[in-house]
């Protein structure tokens, strides 16, 4: 029995469900295959058989499915709600303690969804790191570049790391995020190109990646109300930019 599971409501979502199940090594549930059995009752019987759930459905349906099942944030399975268009990955249950926040970022990297994390532990961290690097940069080089860019700030203030999709499998970057328990947000190259602003356009990045910059636009896309407080800073093949969240009232005042 797999530790992870993907639950579908409609057969139309089968291609998405199959992609997720394969990538996550998850059991795929298709309740329509047993039409005489209530889908909700099928889910209730399977709920505690897995530690991580991705339920592809509307959040309202998920709330009804979960009614009466949760008992403790320390023991409940992690549940992430994903809409069928894969626009948002929402940690609905056991976000911090149970790992649903981390699962949401994992689902987001696989589908291009936006991870909608709402727990205070993560949401109150104000900094987003945008990171770009040459292929094969070791984790220690990336860490050194980040710490230099942070200056007097600390990694404890960082909510997430953002990079472009072509760096989603960069071993040194993944190792850095794992070392410091930071989620990696992957931004689609088309979205980076559409963002279209960077302090110092890079000819090398343009020629090799197809956009004018990576670290600044990725950080700004990941933190749409944020302010760029550390522009692109290069350290031996690693670029780092830092964006700090602003209160919603401040962001509205400037618009």
Would you say the CATH fold of 125-254 matches that of 4-121? no
Give the three-class secondary structure for 73: coil
Please give the span between the terminal C-alpha atoms of the chain, in angstroms, as a whole number: 52
Three-state secondary-structure class, residue 3 = coil
Q: Which residues contact 159 (CB under 8 A, 6 or more apart)?
A: 122, 123, 125, 126, 127, 128, 245
Architecture field, domain 4-121: 3-Layer(aba) Sandwich (3.40)
Arithmetic mean of pLDDT over the chain: 90
Return the CATH number of 125-254, one of 3.30.420.180, 3.90.110.10, 3.30.460.20, 3.65.10.10.
Answer: 3.30.420.180
For the stretch 144-178, pLDDT in tens is 999 999 999 999 999 999 999 998 999 999 999 99
Q: Which pLDDT tens digit goes with each residue over 22-68? A: 999 999 999 999 989 999 999 999 999 999 999 999 999 999 999 99
Instruction: Count the helix, strand and coil residues of the chain and give each as a percent rounded to the nearest 5.
Output: 40, 25, 35
Domain spans in the chain, listed from the N-terminal domain onward: 4-121, 125-254
| CA 60 centroid distance within chain | 22
Dump pLDDT digits (tens) for 82-139: 999 999 999 999 887 778 999 999 999 999 899 998 887 778 899 999 999 999 999 9
User: Is the pLDDT at 201 greater than 70, yes or no?
Assistant: no
In which band, very low, low, confident or very high, does the pLDDT at 194 lie, cut at 50, 70 and 90? Answer: confident
């Amino acid at each position: 029995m797999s530790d992870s599971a993907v639950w579908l409501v409609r057969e139309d979502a089968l291609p998405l469900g199959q992609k997720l199940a394969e990538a996550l090594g998850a059991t795929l549930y298709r309740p329509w295959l047993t039409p005489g059995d209530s889908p909700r009752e099928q889910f209730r019987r399977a709920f505690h058989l897995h530690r991580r759930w991705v339920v592809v459905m509307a959040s309202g349906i998920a709330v009804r499915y979960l009614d009466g099942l949760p008992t403790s944030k320390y023991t409940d399975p992690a549940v992430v709600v994903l809409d069928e268009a894969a626009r948002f990955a929402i940690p609905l249950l056991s976000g911090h303690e149970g790992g649903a926040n981390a699962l949401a970022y994992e689902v987001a990297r696989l589908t291009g969804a936006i991870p909608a994390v709402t727990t205070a532990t993560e949401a109150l961290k104000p900094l987003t790191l945008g990171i770009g690097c040459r292929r094969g940069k070791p984790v220690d080089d990336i860490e050194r570049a980040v710490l230099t860019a942070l200056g007097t700030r600390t990694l404890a203030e960082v909510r997430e790391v953002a990079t472009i999709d072509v760096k989603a499998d960069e071993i040194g970057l993944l190792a850095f995020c794992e070392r410091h328990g930071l989620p990696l947000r992957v931004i689609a190259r088309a979205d980076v190109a559409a963002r279209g602003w960077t302090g110092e356009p890079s000819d090398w990045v343009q020629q090799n990646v197809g956009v004018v910059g990576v670290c600044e636009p990725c950080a700004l896309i990941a933190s749409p109300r944020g302010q760029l407080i550390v522009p692109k800073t290069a350290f031996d093949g690693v670029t780092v930019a830092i964006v700090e969240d602003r209160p919603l009232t401040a962001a509205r005042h400037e618009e």
